[in-house]
A = this chain, B = another copy of it.
Amino acid sequence: MSLRERKKDKTRADLLAAALELFEKQGFAETTIHQIADAVDVSARTLLRYFPTKEDVVVSWVEEGMSVFLSSFADRPASEPAHVSLLASARAMLAHYQSQAEFYLTIERAIASSPAIRARKLEMSARLAEEVTELLRQRRGTAGGGDWQVLLYPALVFAMLRAVIGRWVAENGDRDLLALFDEASSLVTFAA
């Protein structure tokens, strides 16, 4: 990894750290992009090149979790029922969260604390659900899942994920994410 890339990674991480600290101390709306940038000795313009919006300084980090979901999903056999693949990939993603529990706990706390950031995350999550719907549709040539499954099941699984993560955060990460997820998913049955 080149010096350039290492510096970029460091700046990204520093910006996140500074943002989290300021958001916690003063709140999201009360913190300016300029303050965050100053704390890292970088211009506001540069911050906005790293992150397209103020929300993204925090929320972009959940994309990693989402890519874990997607790559797990890609590995599932196309012959598998939709809901089985989805639940398996959800568990894979949560395992990733659990493996960096402190990190994601901090981020999710910041997300939960501000309506604006939360809105952005919900939008990302909705977009991901649509992407997964599309992937399921492409399966349909081979193994199906009706029109509804393909649309509904991703939406429901992501709603479950949000609920589970929400509770995890509310309980300060005391319990295991996968255990929480299994408790939740035992209450819902998907038609095959």
Contacts and interface: CB of A to CB of B under 8 A. Distances in A.
B123 A188 contact: no
Interface stretch (A16-24, A63-71, A161-169): A161-169
A151 B163 contact: yes
Contact of A188 (B115, B186, B190): B190
Contacts of A191: 186-189
Contacts of A189: 188-189, 191
Nearest to A185: B152
Contact of A123 (B119, B158, B187): B119
Interface in A149-184: 149, 151-153, 155-156, 158-160, 162-163, 166-167, 183-184
A136 to B, nearest CB: 13
Interface in A100-141: 115, 118-120, 122-123, 126-127
